Amino acid sequence: MMERLLVVSSSPHIHSPLDTRTIMGWVLAALAPAGLAGIYFFGLRAAAVMAVCVVSCVAFEYLWERCTKRTITAGDLSAAVTGLLLAYNLPPTIPFWMAVLGSLFAIIVVKQFFGGLGCNIVNPALAARAMMLTSWPVPMTTWTLDGVSGATPLALIKEGSLDKLPSLTNLFVGNIGGCIGETSALALLIGFALLLYKDIIKWQVPVIYIAVVAALCTVFGRPVGPVYEILAGGLFLGAIFMATDYTTTPITLRGQMIFAVGCGLLTSLIRTWGGYPEGVSYSILIMNLTVPLIDRVTKPRIFGEVKKHG
């Protein structure tokens, strides 16, 4: 009788009702407010870029898995999330063919070459953005609002044009030049609240990341206050949706907090002394590479483990 009640198997022994498709569906829902804000401020061109990136990412994942005779996972929505995040990190004027090549790099090179979902070592959308910024720096840094080209707030801070900075109100609602999904802090905070409510992510990583940047902007003598510093650029998008990625961040809560502090420190260093006005993408990518070390250092003790002496 006991043999029927006791089943020995490998972990995990406790299963969550959430599967990959459900989690990714909620992430897409949380990203929706930022996408709507991007369409409102940048027009239908922004919607077209989002559609191109999402369709391309899903198609490339399906074709790769079909050609390599692997299990088809294109329907789990993870590729759609990657495509939407990539689009959110692009200017609305980006040529469509560049968006397609960025999607190819994100899905095939960064994700599938390393084994697919759960095996990539860096965030695919951010890695694709970094590749595109290196390959096509001018289209990737051309910003328009209402058909007029202009610099982003962080670029204005970098060049010392403080008199041209937009108001805090415009920063908060998103009425500024920038990437499609990064400009509206209000929309991103709505998505953050949804993810917290559904227990998809924890609050520690985004809050610590943003708090570190706010504190260091004062320590490093940035010419704007901490509120302006955290609202400008892609900090909210990166902290909420990419620094919390399950695959490329530490497993333990203590490790995630170390990861967040590192992201905040690197972002502040790049913004202050780097040649590029924004530092969120590169900071998260660099910290992604430290995750194995952080996991090793913060590995919890096994129950019953005896500490070795001598």
Q: Specify the pLDDT at position 12.
A: 57
Produce one character per residue of 125-148: b if its CB has 16 or more CB atoms within 10 Å, e if not. Answer: bbbbbbbbbeebeeebeebebeee
Domains and CATH numbers, the chain: 20-297 (1.10.3430)
Q: How far apart are the first and last CA of the chain?
A: 47
Q: Specify the pLDDT at position 144.
A: 80
Alpha-carbon span 203 to 193, nearest angstrom: 9
Q: Mean pLDDT, 10 residues at a time, over the chain (310 residues)?
A: 58 66 94 96 95 97 92 89 96 96 96 89 95 94 76 87 89 91 95 95 95 94 91 94 93 94 96 90 96 91 66
Q: Specify the pLDDT at position 261.
A: 97
